[in-house]
Each structure stands twice: as structure tokens, then as C-alpha cells.
Amino acid sequence: MDSVTLSLGLLLPWALGVAALLAARDAARPLAAPGEITWLLGAGYLAGALLLTFWMRALSLAGVRFGAAAIALPLLAVAGALLILAWRRGGGARSIGAMREAFAPPAVTGLARAFWWGLLAWIALRFALLALEVASRPLFPWEAWIGWATKARVWFEFGRITEFVGAREWFAATGNAWFDASPANPATLPLLQVWASIALGNWDDALMNWPWWQIAVALTLAVYGGLRRLGATSLEALVGAYFVASLPLANAHVALAGYADLPLAAYFAVAVLAFLQWAGTRTLRDAALAACFAAACPLIKIVGAVWLLALLPGVTVALAPRQGRKLVAIALGVIAAALVVLAQTSFVVAGHPLHLDFAPAWTSFSDSLFLLGNWNLLWYGVIGAALLAWRQSLTPPLLPLAAIVATGLFLVSILLFFPGSAQWLADAPGVDRAMLHLAPVLVVFMVLAFRAFDARWTAAHPLPIAPDAASATAATQR
């Protein structure tokens, strides 16, 4: 019975988020459009998880104790109302037909079809194995249980959000204050753990981590759907989803759940995908959706506010490609020069000195990217795509994404050259975890860059037309 209630509880944010996106979407955009349903399922969970935690915050402010009925019943009513609204706006029968069409097998044949189904089966197997890990492994990572799950345990027991403070404030506190290693961490992820425990009916430091598995699944669905919406074929989009689902470091953050890095990567990637959709449509709905997912990043991890800076160059070049491209290049150059100058002083950022590392760990860094098992072939693919499609990266529609990637890599390079920046850029003394925040966006860039290169190559080297086909074409033109 506990497993049933837990499953239903974990499906609540998914239903709520999908209903919200369905009700807010443009009714003129067909549900059967490539990738639309998959995008709604992926982005829907991330939206629903955020809405769930907003409601839990509201209950805590109102003095209402957390409970299954207090949390679930109002949200189920809201989800039902939103689904009815979406049904009326989109036409119920047409919506069902569109969903059948959207889930039809891909229009590929032969070896490509076998490859598509093989990749899909591998992704399903990967998530099945990760599910076994999540279901059986108790809370293990160090930072997870000294800076995040501490809040979840206290809030579950008290049935509300209580204040967490630093060591100095805790020693001086006279009220009901609590202390852990990271009291300033946002409440979103601990609240998801609280809800999982409430749905289960008791505290369980293994089963409360199911949201990390759900986030990984949602990210994979969103990447596939987002790539399809941006024009990628079903096979190209599935390759992108495969890369996201197979990143070893991302898989480790699911199996060893509790860190905020994978959730931040998911919200940032979905924000970028929504932004790229807006760059093509320029509709208010797409802009609002991109802004909402971008604004969610600091609610997952404080460093999410820094990653929002990576979106600004993309917006700039999307609005003004020629002038924006020059402006972004100048801005990055000025920032790099300013950092070098400030490094010669006693400049301090968030309590940490900003000094250059004159002996960066190049060997360890290159080994991590290209030789060790953290990233598989991701960096080979990204570099290859950038070299092949460098011309297309300088012009729309690939330019905004290229600007975001370049800025993201620039931010990560700051962490490498300025070790003191670790606490305000990655919240940890490691480049790999900062790279994880950007990794799904790099996958999207890799797929779209290879696609842009293929389109240019095909246009420059058209296949010869057989004589019979050429005669038929000429007769038709006459």
C-alpha cells in the first residue's frame, strides 16, 4: 500500500505540470507537431515540481501543517481544472487523436529504424537500472546529508518550513532555529523530499530521493521533444536524448541522489530549449515559459543566479544578430581583462579572494574531459561539432545557442583559472560539477550544430539526379 501511495504522490507534480503547460500553450500549435507531447511530458514535470513546492511554501506561511490531504487535494483540483480548460481550448477528440499520432513509431526504415529502437531500449534499460539504485540505496553523498536532507528531515517532522541559520547565529539563537552546513540552500529540493516522505507515510532516506530519477527522465524527454520542436529528425533527437541519459556523472547524481547539480542542469537546459523556441517563434507564450524556467534556476541552487548570466548573450544576439555578436565578444573580452587586473589586487568576492592559479591542473582537467569516464564521448562530439559548424554558429538560428555555450564555457574557465571562485560559481571545489550544469545544453548544441553542418554540406554537394528522374523533372517543369 505504501508503494501505491508513494507512486501516486510522485505522479502529482507530473500531472500538475503537464496540465499547466497544456492550459497555457498556444491552441493553434497542434499537439501532433513533432516533439510536442514529449516536450510537455518532460518540461511538465519540472514545472509541476516547482508548483508543488510553491504550494508547500504557501501552506507553511499560512500555518497549515504539511499532510497528504492538505497538499494533494487542492493541487489535484487545480490540475483537473487546468485539464478541462486545455480540453476545451484544444478540442477533446482532436487532442486524443493528436496524442495517438504523436506516439506513432518514427518514419524511419531499415537500419535507421533498428538503430532508433535500439537506442530507445538502451535508454529504458538505463533508467530501469537507475530506478533500482534509487529504491535500494540510502542517502549516501556527504553534501546531500549535511546541507540538504537535514532540512527535509526537520521539515517532515515539524510539518512546516523552519528556519536554518549559520553556526554563529545558531549559537546566539534563542528561538526555534536549526543549523546545518549550508543553511542558505534553497528550499525546493528538500521540499520535494518532504513530499515523497509524506506520500510514503514515513521518513525513508532512500525512497525520498525518487525526484532525482524523475528529473533525469524529465530532462531526457524534454531534450528529445525540444530538439524535435527545433527541427531535428526523430533519430537526431533520440541521439541527443541518449547522450543526456548516458552521461556517467549525471547517472551518478541519480544513483547517489541528494545533490542539486543535476536538477539545476535540468532546469537550465529546459530554459535554454524554451528560449530557442522563442527565438524562432517570438511569441509571448514561449518567452514567458523560457523566463519562468530561467527564474527557477536560483530556486534550485544559489549558483543558478550565476548561470542566468549565460542566457543574456543568447538574448542579445537573438534580438540583434550582427550588433549583438560584436557586443557579446567585446563584453567577454572586457570581463576577462578585468578579472586578470583584479587578480593582481586583494579583491574579494563573497568572502573569497580572486587570485589566479598560476599552475592550473591541466592534466587532471584534460583527463577528466577526454580520458576518464565522467563524460563518455561528449567533449569529442562538442569539439567536432564546433569545428564543422563554426560558420553556422556565427549566424541565426544557431547563433543564440552558440553564444550561450560560449558564455557557459567562459564561466567554467573562471573556475579553473580562479580557484577562489569555486564557492560562488559551483559551490564546490570541482570543475566537473560546474560542467554538469552546462552538459545537457552542450548536447543540444552538438546535435543542432551537426545538423546545420549536414544541411550546408548537402546544399553544397547535391546528389546527382538519375537520367530518368531528370527527364521526369524537366517534363513536369514544362
Q: Is residue 287 part of a domain?
A: no
Q: Which three cell numbers stand for residue 35?
A: 516533439
Number of structural domains the chain divides into: 2
Average pLDDT of the chain, as a whole number? 87
Last residue of a domain, one of 247, 269, 291: 269
Q: Is residue 294 part of a domain?
A: no
Calpha distance 243→283 (Å, rounded): 30
Q: Mind listing the pLDDT tens digit for each residue in 295-325?
A: 999 999 998 998 898 999 999 999 999 899 9
Nearest in space to 428 (alpha carbons), one of 251, 304, 273, 303: 303
Q: Is residue 202 part of a domain?
A: yes
Calpha distance 216→20 (Å, rounded): 20
Q: Is residue 285 part of a domain?
A: no
Sign (positive or negative) of CA dihedral 132, 134, 135, 138:
positive
Residue 452: which residues within 8 A CB-CB, separation 6 or more? 389, 392, 393, 398
pLDDT > 70: percent of the chain: 86
Shared domain for 220 and 306, answered yes or no, is no
| Model confidence at 400: pLDDT above 60 | yes
| Model confidence at 101: pLDDT above 80 | no
Shared domain for 439 and 332, answered yes or no, is yes
Query: What is the pTM assigned to this prediction?
Result: 0.92
Shared domain for 217 and 351, answered yes or no, is no
Give CA 340 to chain center in angstroms.
Answer: 32
Q: Is residue 239 part of a domain?
A: yes
Q: Mind listing the pLDDT tens digit for each residue in 262-283?
A: 999 999 999 999 999 999 999 9
Query: What average pLDDT score do residues 109-129 get?
Result: 91
Q: Which residue range(s) make up the domain with 365?
A: 302-459
Shared domain for 98 and 238, answered yes or no, is yes
Shared domain for 258 and 323, answered yes or no, is no
pLDDT at 470: 47
Q: Mind listing the pLDDT tens digit for each residue in 144-200?
A: 989 899 999 999 999 999 999 888 888 886 667 888 988 989 999 999 999 999 999
Shared domain for 222 and 308, answered yes or no, is no
pLDDT at 477: 43
Shared domain for 245 and 379, answered yes or no, is no
Grade residue 464 by pLDDT with cuts at 50, 70 and 90. Answer: low
Grade residue 418 by pLDDT with cuts at 50, 70 and 90. Answer: confident
Q: Is residue 120 part of a domain?
A: no
Q: Is residue 295 part of a domain?
A: no
**Would you say 392 and 299 are in contact if contact means Cβ atoms under 8 Å apart?**
no
Q: Mind listing the pLDDT tens digit for each residue in 195-220?
A: 999 999 999 999 999 999 999 999 99
Calpha distance 168→150 (Å, rounded): 18
